[in-house]
Amino acid sequence: NEGNEYFREKDYGRAVAAYSEGLRRRCGDAELDAVLLTNRGAAHFHLGNYRSALNDAIQAKKLKPSHLKAIIRGALCHMELKNFSEAVAWCEEGLQIDPKEKKLVEMRAKADKLKLEGTFLGAHTDFSTRCQGRAASFLVFSLPPFQERNIKLVLEPSDEEEEVSDGLAEICLDGFHSDSATGAKVHLDADGNLNWPVLFLYPEHKQADFTVAFHENSRFIDHLMVMFAELPPWDLEKKYLPNNLELYFEDEEREEMYEVNPEHTLLQVLQHERYFVKAGTPTVLVFAKHSPFSKKYFSGKKVHRL
């Protein structure tokens, strides 16, 4: 009930927390758990956390295969993630339950069209530039909420425009833009906590995930547990399990890598003396533990491990 109330108020972050608390009670009622998962997935969806929303829809469908809302939500998530073949499959599954469901009919037609056109707009458009070690010239600046937390923000001048006055003028808590992802912004919630857009990069597979509202006091492991509750379709070797992942951030100025403790909160990582938030979007690199790729990736780099 608390989750539903927050959802009606469009306070989706608190709605996620309330539905999660309901699930932690382990009531044993599959019907209720399916509703909680579907509702939490809807809240994640509104926050732009499409992978988390999809995993909730998958879990809800397992508990209640005929749960149409979960199927619609899962199809919508696949559309947002540009998984058009999977979106078609989910739509077809839902249409077997209700052949006249308008949302599924329209979505299936759209997914079919995009699939045929070969449209794919990945979240990792500038992946190669983000993942390579390189020195960068940048300007570090502070605003009160960030200065209080000892968070270092970075604005890089573009090649075409050396002046940074226009960019600085845009930076405020109501509109601190991220040029690297989907235009999401860091914002203060009602409790005075910062919620950040965060980019997760998977160099081995040239894939990426984007979380729109990562609460500064949330731990990385909590997000990984939701994001990888189901294996992603590109993980054919089934290595990307929540407890089999290593996280790093890159110090581009020094061309060094720092391992991140998954038990740490986002704020703890952002407060690291060598972490610089670029373009308003914290970024972490994710690797499977002890993988041949990671050994090759780190070869020749200075790596600060835990």
**Range(s) within the chain of domains with CATH label 3.10.20.90:** 137-156+176-305
SS3 content of the chain, % helix, strand, coil (to 5): 45, 20, 40
Q: Which two tokens stand for residue 47?
A: 């926050």
Class of the CATH domain delimited by 1-127:
mainly alpha
Which two structure tokens, joined as six digits, stand for 164? 């940074």
Which of 115-119, 130-134, 192-196 tops mean pLDDT? Answer: 192-196
| pLDDT on residue 250 | 92
Token digits of residue 274? 């060598």
Would the pLDDT of 128 be above 70? no
> Which residues make up the CATH 1.25.40.10 domain(s) of the chain?
1-127
Whether domain 137-156+176-305 has CATH 1.20.120.450: the reply is no
DSSP letter assigned to residue 244: G
Q: Residue 116 has what pLDDT?
A: 62
3-state secondary structure string, 94-150?
HHHHCCCCHHHHHHHHHHHHHHHHCCCCCCCCCHHHHHCCCCCCCEEECCHHHHHCC
SS3 state at 151 = coil
pLDDT digits (tens, 9 = 90+) for 178-200: 333 445 678 888 888 899 989 89
State pLDDT tens for residues 39-97: 999 999 999 999 999 999 999 999 999 999 999 999 999 999 988 889 999 999 999 99
Instruction: Scan for tokens 């540009």, then name that residue.
Output: 82
What's the predicted TM-score (pTM) here? Answer: 0.55
pLDDT value of position 234: 86
- In degrees to the nearest 10, what's the CA dihedral of 194, 195, 197, 198? 90
Question: What pLDDT score does 254 carry?
Answer: 87
For residues 261-265, give the mean pLDDT: 97
Structure tokens at 148: 């209080």
Q: Is the pLDDT at 99 greater than 80, yes or no?
A: yes
